[in-house]
Amino acid sequence: MNLRVNPRALTGRLLLAGLAATLGGVLVALPAHAAAPAAVAPGAATSGAVAPRASLTSHAPVLVALSSGMDSVFSWDGASWAKIGGPAGIVVSGGGVVAVVRPETGDVYRWTGGTTWLRIGGPVRQLAIDDTGTIYAISADGQSVLQWLFGTSWGKIGGPAETIVAGGASTLIATDPVTGDVSRRGMNGWYRIGGPGREFAVDSEGWVYGISPDDWGVFKWSGAGTDWIRVGYRATSLTAGAMGTVVITNADTGSALRYSGSGTDWYYLGGYAIEFVVDGLGRIYSLGASSDRRISRSLGGGAWEQIGGPASWLAAS
């Protein structure tokens, strides 16, 4: 997934977030959008219907943040933040699994608990993790889509690719570096499901959503061929996650909207931010757009509670 390229690799991207302050670089908790136009899915169908797969959310919810200096990774336990590692250039979470890409080497490390990390390969340019915890990557040269197998072994499953997005039970999509077309990995290879978009996301049910290149529409892949259904209007960012949660940033107001799951109806969330993420229980967090880059959680009805910050990146599952 970035199309607007987003190296965060929405895992259900985009991944997009008491009060908090940074003391010596440590996060410290204080008291406290009809049928899609050709812009999104042009071309003839190249495959039959593909049913989204069931959601898997048996893991404990995860929320991690990368410090503003990108030198530390922190984990939120619902009450406070704890430093678990760093530095990192990319932080991704899916299925309760957390992985990072080290900025100096491009190597991939998987969090194993506490402050322990295990190197599993690299270098790579992008990561994605689906809801089963399966880790995917784009090779450093962009020519291969890879799946982690064990140890430091990876298997090539596709490529080349510009971006990848994972979600649901083993749902993986990739965009073409030349055309921007989006393809979905199936049982017997890759199938083109649409044309270029500004951004794509995959929810916990395996449904694929996208924003048209001109930001004028939010669309949901029908599950067949290259047919898409309009579910929303102007948006600048998109994220999806557990419980079929889909969140966009409204292009006119900058506020967050949550998809109702029906037609083109959306619920107002508020919370002007640069990034939204969804944890394994469907809870929504934001990373503020102001200079303080605060981390907040949605309380519903347009209300938000600040829980930390500043941060440069959020990941959740």
The pLDDT profile of the chain, 317 residues, written as one tens digit per residue, is 222 333 343 344 332 222 222 222 333 232 222 233 232 322 222 333 444 444 445 789 999 999 999 999 999 999 999 999 999 999 999 999 999 999 999 999 999 999 999 999 999 999 999 999 999 999 999 999 999 999 999 999 999 999 999 999 889 999 999 999 999 999 999 999 999 999 999 999 999 999 999 999 999 999 999 999 999 999 999 999 999 999 999 998 888 999 999 999 999 999 888 899 999 999 999 999 877 899 999 999 899 999 999 999 999 99
pLDDT at 38: 30
pLDDT at 258: 97
pLDDT at 290: 77
Paired residues of 276 in beta bridges: 286
pLDDT at 25: 31
Q: Are 201 and 211 in contact (CB under 8 A)?
A: no
pLDDT at 253: 87
What H or E segment, with its residue span, contains residue 304? strand 303-308
Residue 30 burial (CB count, 10 A): 11
DSSP per residue over 165-229, as a string?
EEETTTEEEEE-TTT--EEEEETTEEEEEE---SEEEE-TT--EEEE-TTSS-EEEE-SSTT-EE
Q: Are 125 and 106 in contact (CB under 8 A)?
A: yes
Question: Cα angle vertex 178, ends 106, 11, to 5°?
Answer: 50
What are the phi and psi torsion angles at 259 (to 5°)? -70, 135
pLDDT at 5: 33
CA dihedral 312, 209, 236, 44 (to 10 degrees): 130
pLDDT at 11: 42
Q: Are 262 and 280 in contact (CB under 8 A)?
A: no
pTM here? Answer: 0.83
pLDDT at 291: 79
